């Protein structure tokens, strides 16, 4: 149950990342651009995404990936900036060592939703072996490092009889299904890829290789990500690559055809 709640919370909290469409900056309303320029004037590698009347700018600032979520009217709803775990407040680092010493820090974000609603979101992973995905935890701290709350997955108890999902479980499943249905694969041009991905392709594939597919995809594990297939003419294999939105290689695979 807690695992479902955690997944729904994370999917809802970062819902703008699901079902977004990569758009040209010329299609971004002036009010949105003005707000973004005011809040992130030193941003580089800016990419714009749209979902309905909401816009998301994904960019790099101080060498760290970040996002700005802005409504059509130009109202900022969230700033999300990746943070080096070593730069967390001392109090937060101490609490993580004591309270979650067996878990691995996966990512840390600085979240700003309003002048009063600011906090650190720490995503933790607990390994379940090679055949199962890790358990995902989220712990929140104030900017001073004071513990706020945590969302923890529920470990299944195999000794308990399975009585089937109750009404709440079914409602949660329906909500999750609705979020998943908003996801669509989208073709992307190479020139629109983050610089880090383009550099990776140039450094690892010579001119004989061409992208067979460049897609913007999404799922509950990686959120939104790039899926790229590189192939050399006449070669009976293809290189499949997965990158996050900021150009970090998530995984790669060579498949014989």
* Mean pLDDT of the region 180-198: 77
Whether pLDDT at 129 is above 60: yes
User: Is residue 54 predicted with pLDDT exceeding 80?
Assistant: yes
| CA–CA gap between residue 197 and residue 185 (Å, rounded) | 18
Share of the chain above pLDDT 70, in %: 79
Reported confidence tier of residue 156, pLDDT bands at 50, 70, 90: low
Q: What percent of the chain has pLDDT over 90?
A: 51
**Which residues lie closer than 8 Å to 144 by C-beta, 6 or more apart?**
89, 91
Q: What is the mean pLDDT of the chain?
A: 83
What DSSP letter does each residue of 124-181 carry, written as one string? EEE---SSSPPEEEEEEE-TT--EEEEE-PPPP-TTS------HHHHHHHHHHHHHHH
Per-residue pLDDT band for 120 (boundaries 50, 70, 90) equals very high
Is pLDDT above 80 for 167?
A: no
Mean of the pLDDT values across residues 58-77?
94
Instruction: Count how many residues are written for the chain.
Output: 257
Rg of the chain on CA atoms, in Å: 20
Task: Give which of 164, 243, 168, 237 is closest to 200, Cα–Cα.
Answer: 243
pLDDT digits (tens, 9 = 90+) for 2-41: 454 454 445 444 444 555 788 999 999 999 999 999 999 9
**DSSP state letters, 57-79:** EEEEETTEEEEEEEETTS-EEEE
pLDDT at 208 over 80: yes
Is residue 233 pLDDT above 90, yes or no? no
Question: What are the sequence ranges of the domains in the chain?
Answer: 186-256
Instruction: Provide the pLDDT confidence category of residue 88 given band limits of 50, 70 and 90.
Output: very high
Neighbours of 14 (CB within 10 A): 19
| pLDDT score at 171 | 56
Q: How far apart are CA 25 and CA 21, in angstroms?
A: 12
Q: How confident is the model at residue 43, as a pLDDT?
A: 95
The CATH number of 186-256 is 3.10.450.360
Residue that wins the pLDDT comparison between 167 and 66:
66
Answer yes or no: is pLDDT of 162 > 90: no
How far apart CA 191 and CA 143 sit, in angstroms, is: 37
Q: Specify the DSSP element, H or E, that contains 35.
A: helix 30-39
- Provide the pLDDT for residue 11: 47
CB distance 252 to 200 below 8 Å: no
Amino acid 160: pLDDT? 44
DSSP state of 1: -
- The C-alpha atoms of residue 53 and residue 71 are separated, in whole angstroms, by 6
Backbone φ, ψ for residue 226 (5° rounding): -100, 135
* Closest among 108, 65, 76, 91 to 197, alpha carbons compared: 65
| Residue 95 in this model has a pLDDT that exceeds 50 | yes
- Which of helix, strand or coil describes residue 100? coil
| Lowest pLDDT segment from 102-106, 172-176, 193-197 | 172-176
Two structure tokens written together for 218: 């999404």
Distance (Å) of CA 114 to CA 189, 224, 252: 35, 25, 39
**Comparing 155 with 11, which gets the higher pLDDT?**
155
Task: Label residue 205 by pLDDT band (50, 70, 90).
Answer: very high
Measured distance between the N- and C-terminal CA atoms of the chain, rounded to whole angstroms: 41
Q: What is the mean pLDDT of residues 120-129?
A: 91
């Amino acid at each position: 149950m807690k695992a479902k709640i955690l997944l729904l919370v994370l999917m809802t909290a970062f819902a703008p990342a699901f079902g977004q469409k990569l758009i040209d900056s010329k299609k971004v309303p002036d009010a949105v651009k003005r707000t973004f320029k005011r809040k992130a004037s030193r941003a580089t590698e800016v990419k714009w995404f749209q979902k309905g009347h909401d816009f998301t700018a994904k960019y790099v600032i101080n060498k760290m990936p970040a996002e700005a979520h802005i409504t059509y009217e130009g109202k900022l709803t969230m700033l999300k900036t990746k943070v080096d775990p070593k730069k967390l407040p001392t109090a937060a680092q101490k609490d993580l060592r004591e309270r979650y010493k067996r878990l691995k820090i996966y990512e840390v974000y600085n979240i700003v939703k309003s002048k009063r609603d600011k906090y650190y979101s720490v995503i933790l992973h607990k390994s379940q072996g090679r055949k199962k995905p890790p358990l995902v935890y989220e712990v929140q701290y104030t900017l001073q490092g004071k513990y706020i709350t945590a969302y923890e997955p529920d470990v299944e108890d195999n000794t308990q009889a399975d009585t089937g999902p109750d009404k709440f479980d079914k409602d949660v499943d329906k909500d999750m299904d609705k979020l998943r249905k908003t996801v669509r694969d989208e073709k992307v041009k190479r020139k629109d890829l983050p610089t880090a991905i383009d550099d990776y392709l140039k450094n690892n594939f010579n001119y004989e290789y061409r992208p067979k597919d460049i897609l913007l995809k999404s799922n509950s594990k990686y959120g939104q990500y790039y899926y790229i297939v590189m192939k050399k003419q006449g070669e009976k294999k293809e290189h499949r690559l997965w990158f996050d939105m900021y150009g970090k290689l998530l995984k790669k695979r060579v498949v014989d055809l």
